[in-house]
Amino acid sequence: MNTREDEKSSLFISHMFKKTVEDLLQKALEERSDLFLIDFSMSTDNAIKIVIDGDKGVLVEDCMFVSRAIEHNLDRDEHDFALQVLSSGATSPLIMPRQYNKHVGRHLEIKTVEGRIIEGQLINANDDGVLLKWKTRESKPVGKGKVTVTKEANIAFESIKEAKVKIKF
């Protein structure tokens, strides 16, 4: 075979291996419906990185479950690979609407696609978006001084550029 045919063959094998890993990952997530995929990547040297989250958070055992579901069904003699299964960290941005429900009651910082930054307590999350509530100081409508007022904002998911949980100590 010439070099071009070797490259095509190698790409085909790499593509098939990636498809096998994706299928094993999907099967594991179907078995554990409380877990869901945040990110999946595979480099040209078969370094596999999987980031998961869960409706009630992710334990080390959950990462081990996904890792074993994949690794135990692959032949290391056939493919050389490195597998890393991680949980979405506490400071990682919320990417999927499903991630918001477990954070109801916590403080979020949301950057909208218009560039606005809103920080407040997550009151509710549904299929369309989120409801944030916060307190702010504003000038009194009459007279001098300021008064504390409670504000709310409904923010649609398509308007959210980035959302992060603000950890308060």
User: What CATH number corresponds to the domain at position 139?
Assistant: 2.30.30.100
pLDDT band at 99 (very low <50, low <70, confident <90, very high): very high
DSSP letters spanning the chain = --HHHHHHHHHHHHHHHHHHHHHHHHHHHHH-TTEEEEEEEE-TT-EEEEEEEEBTB--HHHHHHHHHHHHTTS-TTT---EEEEEEPPTTSPP-SGGGTGGGTTSEEEEEETTS-EEEEEEEEE-SSEEEEEEEEEEE-SSSSSEEEEEEEEEEEGGGEEEEEEE---
Q: Is residue 80 part of a domain?
A: yes
Count of residues making up the chain: 169
Task: Based on the fold, state whether residues 37 and 65 are members of the same structural domain.
Answer: yes
| Mean pLDDT, residues 56-73 taken together | 95
132 confidence band (pLDDT: 50, 70, 90):
very high
Claim to verify: residue 103 and residue 137 sit in the same structural domain: yes
The pTM is what?
0.79
Does 92 map to a domain? no
138 token code pair: 């504003």
At 96, the amino acid letter reads M
pLDDT of 116: 95
pLDDT band per the 50, 70, 90 thresholds, residue 3:
low
Domain count, the chain: 2
Domain shared by 77 and 10, yes or no: yes
Per-residue pLDDT tens digits for 37-61: 999 999 989 999 999 999 988 999 9
Which domain does 63 fall in, by range?
3-87
Which pLDDT belongs to residue 72?
94
